[in-house]
Structure 1
């Protein structure tokens, strides 16, 4: 299920058209308590979240919604996108960041991208993210410097290094001669052992430790 959250029905109409062709159940909410109830009760796969929605309170509100359904991938939708806001949303746990008026074809692609476990951001944000990854001090803001990569098995370390290099699960599976399902299983173990939420945080951690590559990010 894909959940749409906004007080603007015209926006949700546009979003619904973009994602309806995917053959997935779409549900709309216009109040915060509805959003929280749907997240905790229905566990939607993706949430398209208007950042002007309810009493969201910025990054703290996004992180709070994430707590109701940790497996739901949140795409935050901004009325006035900015690099700083985008980075803040990613740090809060969002898996995507774009304009509320994004082209429907791109929105469909953004949903598909986060469903595949990747991160969706606009092209203008990519340079800031690359700079963040390349700055050890900034990277430590997203990843605890006390985390020990030696806690991983040799295969898990190899996969973590490839994630840091920006490779998709499909490419990693091809390089290592294993299935994509096995890659996902190893990633789940890596996330649990290192205490990270997603691929972006893992990439920041890995690049801080081994100075290799960039996070896997899809560009709009």
Structure 2
């Protein structure tokens, strides 16, 4: 799984309640065991009305939301839930994960997307990550998001980001821009007449020089959807 960098103003929310929402008691038992620990307050609910009430009243730090829950209405339901507690980080839990569903729930405001039966150790990491303001998604979904970023109209690149690219060699800039256009390593290698291994080596240098963590953050930087704030990268709303 990939953890993406926090947006501007993200704050750690340790110590606040974690809300579990599913009509499957066995699933919630597994989640509770995975995230339970000293100082962790866990509450369980089994229907949408209770989810809404808990969000409005307790404003939990994290909501683990079973997408099979009755009356949720998919991504639209997530967008609605966020109005009850905008500060709650929602991790959408799917019984049949797909890239399309993942993109939809993230666009609706979810901060994570996992299989309902995710390994408990990974679930604990996912919860910790979103509490720090990060986003937790699978590697394949990251690749899909990079492609979507490259396929949409880019915002003008911030001046400070253009200056950052001057840190790169000509070849590194070429590869970085191709990543920003949504190209995979194999396509980049074929286009430039080099091996995928060489592409990966150049990307490692690019990540280090630009202080980015992954392809998605690089693509957001290249397309002008990421800029620096006091030295840290933050997202830019281009909607």
Given the two structures, how large is their TM-score scaled by the length of structure 1? 0.65
The yes-or-no answer on 1:47 pairing with 2:58 is no
Runs of 4+ aligned structure 1 residues displaced above 4 Å come to 202-207
Q: Which protein has greater RCO, CA pairs closer than 8 Å, 6+ apart?
A: 2
Contact 2:18 2:62 in 1 (8 A): yes
- The match for 1:35 is 51
Structure-2 separation of matches of 1:28 and 1:90? 23
Superposition TM-score, scaled by structure 2 size: 0.60
- Match of 2:83, SS? helix
Identify the match of residue 125 of structure 1 among 141, 144, 155: 141
Please list the CA deviations of residues 66-91 of structure 1 after superposition, one character each: whole Å capped at 9, or x if unmatched. Answer: 11000000000000000111011100
Paired residues of 1:204 and 1:215 also in contact (CA < 8 A): no
| Structure 2 counterpart of 1:85, from 81, 101, 105 | 101
How many residue pairs were aligned? 162
Q: 1:209 to 1:28 in 2, by over 3 A?
A: same
- Cα–Cα, structure 1 residues 72 and 149, in superposed 2: closer, same or farther, change >3 Å? farther
Asked if 1:100 is matched to 2:119, the reply is no
C-alpha separation between the residues in 2 aligned to 1:149 and 1:68? 35
Following superposition, the deviation at residue 131 of structure 1 comes to 1.1
CA contact (8 A) 1:133 1:207 kept: no
User: Aligned pair 1:116/2:129, yes or no?
Assistant: no
Residue aligning to 2:32: 16
Structure 1 unaligned blocks of 5 or more: 140-144, 162-174, 176-201
Please list the CA deviations of residues 85-108 of structure 1 after superposition, one character each: whole Å capped at 9, or x if unmatched: 101110000000010000000000
Distance 1:83 1:95, change over 3 A: same
Counterparts of 1:169-180 in structure 2, within 5 Å, are none
Q: Secondary structure at the match of 2:224?
A: helix
Instruction: Report the counterpart of residue 61 of structure 1 in structure 2.
Output: 77
Map of 1:164-203 to 2, 5 A cutoff?
none
For residues 72 and 207 of structure 1, do their structure 2 counterparts lie closer, same or farther at Cα, with a shift above 3 Å needed?
A: farther
**1:5-35 deviations in whole A, cap 9, x for unaligned?**
0000100000000110253100000011111
In angstroms, what is the RMSD of aligned CA positions?
A: 3.2
CA contact (8 A) 2:146 2:219 kept: no
How many angstroms apart in 1 are the aligned matches of 2:139 and 2:77?
25
Contact 1:2 1:46 in 2 (8 A): yes
SS in 2 for 1:209: coil
